């Protein structure tokens, strides 16, 4: 069987739960070949981020060229991009190599509160990267920041999604991990043709959710690489992250990492369903 090659362009998490490390683990588990371009190195554990060192632009460029000159990238995702210059460079190379099936995870603030994207870089994300993307996957606070609309019910979620679609992105997927008052972790997808998909899983009471967003977008990229439709890829990504949350590893004293190996032998697939 041909092994599909996928790329993550993101930051390194020394704690292994989020960022590049979560992406590569997810790619491996979903049977695609993972490659990476590292944009920043964080010193981080389950208690928080203690340092961020951006990788020099020249080196990011060389990493992008190293991938582009030798690999057949079937899908890719972006995570932590840190500043506007990095976003502009990454967008330029995605166009240059004509990489398709781009998932943009607009990583802005870590669960512990550390800023992973400079405030002024949101503009570059919207102008340069979103028009190239098949799907953008904000959590609720990120969707609010990208749309300037506060999300408090289904109507405002729809309004925010439409505002984000107007940036030129083809699909928007608002993740529901932050909707703490609901019994469900409900994720909402809308595309520019008006196609809507809503996936629900029971909300787990846990603080072991470090890197759920990274893992989810990496799973989407892996499934896109295999030629899956959005409906199939969304379902598998949700199953994957739900299994990872439901079978905790109990590592670290803070926001623990999820269990990337759980999907393989997972027993919780049946609790996820499309709502319509």
Ligand X SMILES: Cc1ncc(COP(=O)(O)O)c(N)n1
Active site residue 252: no
Active site residue 214: yes
Query: According to the binding rule CB under 6 A, does residue 42 interact with ligand X?
Result: yes
- Interstrand relation of 102-104 and 135-136 (parallel, antiparallel or unpaired): parallel
Active site residue 227: no
Query: According to the binding rule CB under 6 A, does residue 37 interact with ligand X?
Result: no
Taking CB within 5 to 8 Å according to partner kind, which of ligand X, ligand ATP, none is near residue 177?
ligand ATP
**Options 49-57, 65-73, 153-161, 201-209: segment touching ligand ATP (CB under 6 A):** 201-209
Query: According to the binding rule CB under 6 A, does residue 204 interact with ligand ATP?
Result: yes
Which residues in the 4-33 window bind ligand X by CB under 6 A? 10-11, 13, 18-19
The Cα 15–Cα 111 span in angstroms is 13
Query: According to the binding rule CB under 6 A, does residue 235 interact with ligand ATP?
Result: no
Residues 6+ apart with CB under 8 A from 86: 39, 54, 57, 60
Q: Which is nearer to ligand ATP, 93 or 263 (CB)?
A: 263
Using CB atoms within 10 A of its CB, is residue 178 exposed (0-12), middle (13-18) or buried (19+)? middle
Asked whether the beta carbons of 222 and 214 are under 8 A apart, the reply is no
Which CB contacts under 8 angstroms, 24+ apart, belong to 117-121? 117/80, 117/81, 117/82, 117/83, 118/82, 118/83, 118/84, 120/84, 121/81, 121/82, 121/83, 121/84, 121/87
Which residues in the 213-252 window bind ligand X by CB under 6 A? 213-214
Cβ 72 to ligand ATP shortest distance, Å = 28
Write out the catalytic residue numbers: 175, 209, 211-214
Interface residues toward ligand ATP, by CB under 6 A: 18, 111, 139, 175-178, 185, 187, 201, 203-204, 206, 209-214, 216, 238, 241-242, 245
């Amino acid at each position: 069987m041909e092994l599909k090659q996928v790329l993550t362009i993101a930051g390194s998490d020394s704690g292994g739960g989020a960022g590049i490390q979560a992406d590569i683990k997810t790619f491996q588990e979903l049977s695609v070949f993972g490659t990476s371009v590292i944009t920043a190195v964080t010193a981080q554990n389950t208690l928080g981020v203690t340092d961020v060192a951006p990788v020099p632009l020249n080196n990011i460029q060389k990493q992008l060229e190293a991938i582009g000159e030798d690999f057949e990238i079937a899908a890719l995702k972006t995570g932590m991009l840190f500043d506007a210059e990095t976003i502009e460079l990454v967008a330029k190379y995605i166009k240059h190599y004509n990489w398709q099936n781009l998932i943009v995870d607009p990583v802005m603030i870590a669960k512990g509160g550390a800023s992973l994207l400079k405030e002024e870089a949101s503009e570059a994300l919207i102008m340069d990267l979103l028009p190239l993307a098949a799907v953008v996957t904000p959590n609720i606070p990120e969707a609010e920041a990208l749309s300037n609309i506060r999300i408090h019910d289904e109507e405002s979620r729809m309004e925010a999604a439409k505002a984000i679609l107007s940036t030129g992105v083809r699909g928007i997927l608002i993740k529901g991990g932050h909707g703490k008052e609901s019994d469900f972790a409900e994720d909402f997808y809308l595309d520019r043709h008006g196609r809507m998909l809503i996936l629900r899983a029971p909300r787990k009471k846990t603080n072991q959710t470090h890197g759920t967003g990274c893992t989810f977008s990496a799973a989407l990229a892996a499934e896109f690489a295999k030629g899956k439709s959005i409906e199939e890829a969304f379902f598998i990504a949700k199953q994957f992250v739900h299994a990872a949350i439901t079978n905790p590893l109990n590592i670290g004293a803070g926001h623990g990492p999820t269990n990337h190996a759980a999907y393989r032998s997972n027993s919780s697939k049946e609790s996820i369903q499309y709502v319509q």
